[in-house]
Structure 1
């Protein structure tokens, strides 16, 4: 999903142009567990020589269950410190922003956010112990999602604890992930090119959709998807009708708060990459109107800075999922941004 293209505004001469930045309320932070038992057999002495995974499926299940339990409790009480014990990375940037902007949500959204829900039909994607990876993934569904879209979670070792560092719905079904004869996935090096692009270059290339509408490089690099089309729509929309005669909007790529990229190999020889991404949106009055008007931040922006001003700079932190193939253009199959600051 992507940030909506429109801003709700109204014009007030000499005092303010009311600026409302609406961000997508896609509550990836509050996912849950299926609570199902794992039937993985215990390791015995006769199995000790078999290749080991980074962790067992039982340990992976327990890590996810712990995340779910703490996550639901943190969401109910809006406790970012508690959530940070089981969540980190880009998804925590977004979750903590939800807590900060809590009072701007509708009663309906607040009720939905606080309601516990669960992960169903989990598929644990665990690398071998000698793979060099510190993380594992989980493909799952949310019990609250009637569309039953794929969700991918990444749990990485942070301060000695497995924490969810990325979590995202996809716009289309995920391709088949490569699994070896021992049932382990194969992590891919983010710096290694797959076709025209390496996973580590995805963010910088993708942000061109916001900066130029994809005219510079992104439009030639990526295959069209729901995510990329939505990003172009944001670029083209510009300021709302009431503000467009007085202000301009531009986007500027910025380094994500948590730059680590996670990649794993696919059964068809391609790579699935989970990458962080970020940009600033700058809405600025045209010089000739700066002495006559001010921009008044919207409710979400006012959480961070409620001062009327000539320029409103919003920071959006995001996470995205891409499919890279040696013989075709990369496809972004899920993307989500959240407003995390305004100044």
Structure 2
């Protein structure tokens, strides 16, 4: 320490003698900068997630869409309320497995600085079912990202998505500054030819066009979405037409963080409507059991069915603007159905 102090004193003296050369005063030492203030501390973020887990598990146990609103908001709430509606027509064994109490473990937080004027942060974690009140074995080959947003009534989880299977290796490294804080990316700002806000439309287009002209890189979930129409047509056995159209998102907010390579991790929501139309008066459409709870006459033979689906996507834009989607969660939120007796 004494040696360091002497060095600083000599440097100051040298500056007086060589002022004309532009010598910098030690007071301008970058180490003396003021650290950015985080939107929340890591301890506070952990409490937000702990509260979310408790409220979410309680709502799941009671199959309560109203209680879910205490834990979630935005697109995620719309998704889970849609699923809770469907549970009335699903095998209860499957419902119990899907809604088993869980916890997020191995948490990493990406928190923006207050100066970014963002009201949200992102959790990266693994999930695990609770066993005797404690997290058990982590969900296999699954990395989750969850966006938590500050609302008037408190923090709410508003988007969730992630990487699974072999795509776990594609999870990007999120950039953080010297204060450990994440950089928020403007949803409208282009990276190469792609803006984060473009991803919702690109993903919806997979269902509409079957990926004929998509800029999205080939991934497992991209190919599954692109095959949705042909898969449905094979199930209809030639008795009905099916068509997908882009629809208005339930929330439509895009959240993006800068990745270490200069690209972005993007989470957002979009929507598609699927219309099924019987080909003639001798044909009809039967709703599956999980869709029947959305309509009063769900067991009738239908002439026309419009299924309103929301999409939540997890995507990455590379530094040179190439987009790829690694997670798509598709959930029915409502159904319009016209029985054959009404035509």
Matches within 5 A, 1:100-249: 100-144=85-129, 145-171=138-164, 172-173=167-168, 174-215=171-212, 217-218=213-214, 221-241=215-235, 243-249=236-242
| TM-score normalised over the length of structure 2 | 0.80
What SS is found at the alignment partner of 2:233? coil
2:263 matched to 1:273?
A: no
Asked whether the 8 Å contact 2:111–2:182 carries over to 1, the reply is yes
- 1:260 equivalent to 2:260? Answer no
Contact 1:238–1:248 (CA<8 Å) still a contact in 2? Answer: no
The alpha carbon displacement at 1:133 in A equals: 0.7
Q: Is residue 101–residue 303 contact of structure 1 (8 Å, CA) maintained in 2?
A: yes
Judge which range, 316-325 or 94-103, deviates more: 94-103
Higher mean displacement: 175-184 or 321-330: 321-330
Q: Which has the higher relative contact order, 1 or 2, with Cα contacts under 8 A spaced 6 or more apart?
A: 1
Distance between the aligned counterparts of 2:162 and 2:35, measured in 1?
A: 35
Check conservation: 2:267, 2:315, Cα contact below 8 A.
yes
Question: Unaligned stretches of 5+ in structure 2?
Answer: 1-31, 130-137, 337-343
Tell me what 2:29 maps to.
none
- Aligned partner of 2:19 in structure 1 is none
Measure how far apart 1:114 and its partner are: 4.1
1:19-38, aligned counterparts within 5 Å? Answer: none
CA contact (8 A) 1:318 1:337 kept: yes
The number of residue pairs the alignment matches comes to 290
The Cα RMSD (Å) is: 1.8
Are positions 1:297 and 2:287 aligned together?
yes
Q: Which of 313, 327, 336 lines up with 1:334 in the alignment?
A: 327
Deviations 1:129-178 (A, max 9, x none): 11111100000001145313110000011224110001123132311000
Query: What is the match of residue 309 of structure 1?
Result: 302
**Runs (5+) with no aligned partner, structure 1:** 1-46
Deviations 1:207-234 (CA, angstroms, capped at 9, x unpaired): 221111122x31xx11101111111121
User: Hey, which bits of structure 1, 4+ residues long, moved more than 3 A?
Assistant: none
Question: Does residue 1:77 correspond to 2:70, yes or no?
Answer: no
d(CA) in 1 for partners of 2:40, 2:128: 26
Tell me the secondary structure at the aligned position of residue 267 of structure 2. Answer: strand
Give the C-alpha shift of residue 107 in structure 1: 2.8
Q: Which has the higher helix share?
A: 2
1:80-138 deviations in Å (ceiling 9; x for gaps): 11110120111111111121112222232122234211111000110001111110000
Structure-2 separation of matches of 1:116 and 1:233: 33
